[in-house]
Amino acid sequence: MSLEKEFLAELIDAITNDRLTLPTLPEVALKIREAVDDPDVSSGGLASVIGQDAALAARIIKVANSPLMRGAVVVDNLQLAITRMGITFVRNLATGLAMEQMFQATHDAVDQRLRASWEHSLEVASISHVLASNFTRLKPDQATLAGLVHEIGILPILTLAEENPQILEHEAVLDKIISRLHGKVGRAILKAWEFPDELRAVPVGCTDFTRDESTTADYVDVVTVAKLQSYPEGEGPYAGLDTATVPAFRKLGLSHEVDFHQVDELAVEVEEAKQAFA
């Protein structure tokens, strides 16, 4: 049996028999979710939970002061940041940003792949935020979170690969396996994390370029377009795709020929989002 088939068989068996070790949400994200689920939660109460993670708290305040929020007054504490953005927005943002710590590993090759995946997810999330804001009635914060989790399925695949060093020496083989299975694994992770159905559909649906399930755009459509827009024209794994056949563009009211990198206003907004979320 070839190395590819052997690793693929092990991975599929682990998925099929629920033996694949799925990552858990960072503790701070779980605490934030628990706090927000309390109908009596206040901005002060949520601030005290987020404040337990100083780095995350600083990033939330950074976003609150970013051009994305268009605030006239500088925010210098968490409670004001939450008041400006809203509790739901902060929950989604904090959940997404807290996941960055998961995209790290001790093995250099795995760590490099995970960091690259996070950077790509950050790019897709930023474009998703701008798409949702400008072309849909969807929630920009939910679209941002959708972009951040769209490749979450890579995590357990690379964890398994770390235990099989031979596969790490064959990058093309590993890329092929990741491309084939990370969507299904991602869907399983988001189900385990009790994410809403509209987000669970993202890891698999965002690379189904024929998907056309409804007349109006959903979060899968947003991430699909964002993913395609994240690569410069003619580059990336989907360079040969005929985007005229991708229904997501039509549902967003966008020309399939649009290039966010060439539309000044959109490019500025995406850059603002990237600076805010980074």
Nearest to 183 by CA among 157, 159, 161: 157
Residues 247 and 188: their CA atoms lie apart, in Å, by 25
Residues 260 and 277: their CA atoms lie apart, in Å, by 18
Q: What is the pLDDT along the chain (278 residues), one digit of tens a residue?
A: 577 788 888 888 888 887 788 899 999 999 999 999 999 999 999 999 999 999 999 999 999 999 999 888 899 999 999 999 999 999 999 999 999 999 999 899 999 999 999 999 999 999 999 999 999 999 999 999 999 999 999 999 999 898 888 888 889 889 999 999 999 999 999 999 999 999 999 999 999 999 998 899 999 999 999 999 999 888 899 999 999 999 999 999 999 999 888 889 999 999 999 999 98
85 Cβ contact partners less than 8 Å away, ≥ 6 residues apart: 60, 63, 64, 69, 93, 141
CATH topology of domain 3-19+102-277: Hypothetical protein af1432 (1.10.3210)
- Give the predicted TM-score (pTM) of the model: 0.94
* Residue 18: predicted pLDDT: 78
3-state helix, strand, coil in the chain (%, to 5): 65, 0, 35
* Residue 1: predicted pLDDT: 55
H/E stretch holding 266 reads helix 264-277
Residues 199 and 92: their CA atoms lie apart, in Å, by 12
* Residue 7: predicted pLDDT: 86
- Is residue 91 within 8 A of residue 142, CB to CB? The reply is no
